[in-house]
């Protein structure tokens, strides 16, 4: 994929993840493409159930049963600067295979929304950190423990030598998430997937955790994939943004573009549905009309069409639109810009429709 920010660390192309259930096939991820660049932050945003968390897990191939990747590629470049051609397709590796397990935590690690449940309730923090370190680094128990203590103080936990032997339920929410981050960076990964890392925390702690992530990104030079439904967090943190709707990527581009010049009607709706300091007094927020369709009951054509303010009958409810570049690194999936064959739509054509 073309991009103006060097070679991507990870390129995801046409990713599809399916969950075959008794009730029917759930297409949790139904065509998503994006790049993550070294040392930069990708924000993934969408309403709940849009498949954004599934994308994160698909990259590590730790999908819940019965989910599996049915299409697409996840190219990981371990050394994008010097050797851009040395890429491994994670989607082609078996979920339990040795190479896949070697990638986990060492190259890509993960933190979750619920720091309480992300740690085992019956093992100490230290036990779990040391295990993570030792399974990827040839450290002795002692060395691993020293490193774990250092990591804990690095993420701003005071008295780390005592905290390391405590259980997660003995820590406060903020400290717990710090400990989780310490564990996540313990093998100095190139990418940290943060799945709603601040949703369960209070506002002050949220800000502290985001600051911590930014600091660590600078000092470690790692990329972050920040999955959230909070556009405020995205605006603050992201360099690139992927907007998802019902398992499909609908818009991907640099953060500035997305916020100041959104292309997809869904992105526009999202932006007008949140309060902002730019909102004029007396101006109303616009909630997005309608509700998210049931996964078994997707509308034909563009899945956003029943809620879309720019709905074009006979076009949007017919064929699915394609996810195509618009200008430079900006991708969009909408018939306002491309027809069903992928040809750019001219201004007159739009007026006709």
Binding residues (CB under 8 A) for other proteins: these are 57, 60, 62, 64-65, 96, 101-106, 109-110, 112, 114, 117-123, 128, 131-132, 135-136, 167, 169-170, 180, 272, 284, 286-287, 289-291, 293-294, 296-297, 299, 306-309, 311
CA angle 106, 61, 267 (to 5 degrees): 100
Q: How far is the CB of 52 from other proteins (least distance, A)?
A: 16
Q: How far is the CB of 203 from other proteins (least distance, A)?
A: 23
Query: In this complex, which beta carbon is closest to other proteins, that of residue 122 or of residue 277?
Result: 122
Q: Is 109 or 217 the residue whose CB approaches other proteins more closely?
A: 109
Nearer to other proteins, 222 or 331 (CB): 222
CB of 329 to other proteins, least distance (A): 28
* Cα–Cα separations (whole angstroms), residue 149 to 12, 115, 125, 132: 35, 19, 11, 14
CA 75 to chain centre: 16
Residue with structure tokens 């075959």? Answer: 20
Strand order in the sheet with 25-36: 25-36, 10-20, 68-77, 87-89
Spatial distance between the Cα atoms of 333 and 248, rounded to a whole number of angstroms: 9
- Per the rule left: phi > 0, alpha: psi between -120 and 50, beta: everything else, 235 is alpha
Residue 25: CB minimum distance to other proteins, A: 16
Q: Rounded to an integer, what distance in angstroms lies between the CA atom of residue 327 and that of residue 253?
A: 10
Our CB check for other proteins shows the closer of 78 and 102 to be 102
- Which residue lies nearer to other proteins by CB, 120 or 219? 120
Shortest separation between residue 300's beta carbon and other proteins, angstroms: 11
Residue (31 or 265) nearer to other proteins, CB:
265
Cβ 109 to other proteins, closest distance in Å? 7
Distance CA 191, CA 153 (A): 21
């Amino acid at each position: 994929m073309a991009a103006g920010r060097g070679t991507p660390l990870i390129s995801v192309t046409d990713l599809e993840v399916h969950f075959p259930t008794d009730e029917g096939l759930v297409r949790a991820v139904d065509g998503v493409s994006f790049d993550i660049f070294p040392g930069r932050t990708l924000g993934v945003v969408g309403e709940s159930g849009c498949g954004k968390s599934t994308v994160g897990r698909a990259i590590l191939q730790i999908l819940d049963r019965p989910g599996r990747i049915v299409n697409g590629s996840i190219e990981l470049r371990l050394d994008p600067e010097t050797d851009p051609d040395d890429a491994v397709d994670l989607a082609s590796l078996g979920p339990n295979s040795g190479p896949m397990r070697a990638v986990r935590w060492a190259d890509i690690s993960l933190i979750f929304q619920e720091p309480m449940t992300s740690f085992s309730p019956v093992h100490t923090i230290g036990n779990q950190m040391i295990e993570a370190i030792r399974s990827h680094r040839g450290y002795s128990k002692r060395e691993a423990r020293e490193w774990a203590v250092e990591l804990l103080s690095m993420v701003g936990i005071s008295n780390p030598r005592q905290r390391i032997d405590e259980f997660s339920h003995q820590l406060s929410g903020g400290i717990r998430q710090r400990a989780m981050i310490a564990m996540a960076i313990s093998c100095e990964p190139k990418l940290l997937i943060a799945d709603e890392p601040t949703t369960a925390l209070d506002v002050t702690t949220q800000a502290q955790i985001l600051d911590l992530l930014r600091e660590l990104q600078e000092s470690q030079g790692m990329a972050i994939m920040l999955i959230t439904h909070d556009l405020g967090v995205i605006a603050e943190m992201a360099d690139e943004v992927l907007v998802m709707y019902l398992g499909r990527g609908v818009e991907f581009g640099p953060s500035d573009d997305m916020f100041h010049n959104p292309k997809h009607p869904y992105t526009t709706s999202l932006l007008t549905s949140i309060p902002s300091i730019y909102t004029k007094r007396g101006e109303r927020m616009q909630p997005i009309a309608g509700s998210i369709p049931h996964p078994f009951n997707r509308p034909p054509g563009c899945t956003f069409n029943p809620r879309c303010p720019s709905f074009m009958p006979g076009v949007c409810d017919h064929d699915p639109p394609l996810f195509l570049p618009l200008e430079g690194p900006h991708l969009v999936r909408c018939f306002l810009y491309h027809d069903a064959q992928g040809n750019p739509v001219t201004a007159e054509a739009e007026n006709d429709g």
